[in-house]
Amino acid sequence: MVSWQKQVGQVATAIAVISGIVMILSVGFGDVLNIAVSPDSISAETNEAFGGTNNPNGTILTNGVDFIDRIAVITVGLTVLGSAGLGVITVSGNNPPFLNVVLRYLPIIVGFVALTSFTTEVNDVLSGDRTWSAFGDIENSYMLFLASSVVAGLMALFSGNRR
């Protein structure tokens, strides 16, 4: 029999994967990579979605992507590509040990990042207070990913699930 913690964690992980896919498709593969590697190269639309400002000609005035956004977006990619998502990257003896640790503890890592850096937004999603229509697909999918990852991470801790 599956415990309630495991079921809630699996549902939350599924929501995280789906919202992560929506985020990646909304941002675009190029900008997802740019967020992680070269945030100054993101598009004006992505910059605005992350809270930055642009000049009227579309060039970035202030970059909205900060360090924690870079970490969070990397975890979006790992979640979507990992065993909970598309299964492209999985725990394996062929991986560097660090990658296996990250993959095993990914729900807890993402939950920690979300709770420590996006507390207000996560709380709004989990309490039903988020005004979804006030934001675009990028922001909404990002926050739904983070909120569902908090639940998945907590359930992984409670159930001892390390995949």
CA-to-CA separations, 106 to 72, 89, 103, 137, in angstroms, rounded: 11, 12, 5, 24
pLDDT tens, 76-125? 999 999 999 999 999 999 999 999 999 999 999 999 999 999 999 999 99
Please tell me the pTM assigned to this model.
0.93
Q: Which 8-state DSSP code applies to residue 88?
A: S
Question: What is the C-alpha separation between 89 and 61, in angstroms, rounded?
Answer: 36
pLDDT tens, 126-153? 999 999 999 999 999 999 999 999 999 9
pLDDT surpasses 80 at 162:
no
